[in-house]
A and B are shown apart, each in its own frame.
Chain A
Amino acid sequence: QQPVQSPQAVILREGEDAVINCSSSKALYSVHWYRQKHGEAPVFLMILLKGGEQKGHEKISASFNEKKQQSSLYLTASQLSYSGTYFCGTEIGSGNTPLVFGKGTRLSVIA
């Protein structure tokens, strides 16, 4: 039931782009993206609902492919502040259920 995130880790130089994927074997109702910096609480980035449109947050955007039950997080022109671990949280079925999180993708942006 836990969604699968890929890649597990990625290293970028400032200004480079990255894509993080989140896939589920179950029919998804929504996908939530969070970023967690070391030793801190996860922070909500955005939510994508089934049938909804692509969302954006600064230079971070995401899409939801219902056919593939997959969401992708796009980070463009990465900044040092983007470093952290990104988690997707998924709601299955018709919603109204707690989020099930993936194992996370560790992103490191270097100068």
Chain B
Amino acid sequence: DGGITQSPKYLFRKEGQNVTLSCEQNLNHDAMYWYRQDPGQGLRLIYYSQIVNDFQKGDIAEGYSVSREKKESFPLTVTSAQKNPTAFYLCASSISPGVPEAFFGQGTRLTVV
């Protein structure tokens, strides 16, 4: 089945550690996105990538980094510079940048203690 896979579903890390969230898609989509979801805040864009080896910052990119070495993969690293990393992270993809209908993964809930 085609889709977007995020792993793991739950992740716990100690404060000060970097952590990488995985996002893989087999939909052959060009564009991929990372959103952060906090209660009552909706979905806020962290980074997005429209083609391989290229990505742009979203509204809340500080403390995060990404890479897009392969079309199907768009991992997100939450660095120790992120002041409040505990959140629900959603990865999404769309056919092309001009067609933003997004398909979402199941999300990763990150808890930093």
Between A and B, 10 residue pairs with Cβ closer than 8 Å are: A42-B104, A44-B102, A44-B103, A87-B42, A87-B43, A89-B102, A98-B45, A99-B45, A101-B42, A102-B42
Q: Which residues of A contact B45 (CB under 8 A)?
A: 98-100
B106 to chain A, nearest CB (A): 5
Contact with A along B35-77 (1 / 0, CB 8 A): 1000011111100100000000011000000000000000000
Q: A41-B104, A41-B105 are in contact. Are A96 and B43 (CB under 8 A)?
A: no
A8 to chain B, nearest CB (A): 8
Question: Is B21 located at the chain interface by the 8 A CB criterion?
Answer: no
* Residues of A bordering B, CB below 8 Å: 1-2, 30, 32, 39-44, 47, 87, 89, 91, 95-104
Tally of B interface residues using CB under 8 Å: 22
Q: Which residues of A contact B105 (CB under 8 A)?
A: 41
Contact with A along B10-48 (1 / 0, CB 8 A): 000000000000000000000001010000111111001
Nearest B residue to A42, CB-CB: B104
The 7 A-B pairs at the shortest CB distance, nearest first, are namely A41-B104, A103-B42, A101-B43, A101-B42, A96-B98, A98-B48, A42-B104
Asked if residues A99 and B40 are in contact (CB atoms below 8 Å), the reply is no
Among A1, A43, A96, chain B packs the most CB atoms within 10 A around the CB of A96
Q: Which residues of A contact B44 (CB under 8 A)?
A: 101
Q: Which residues of B contact A39 (CB under 8 A)?
A: 107
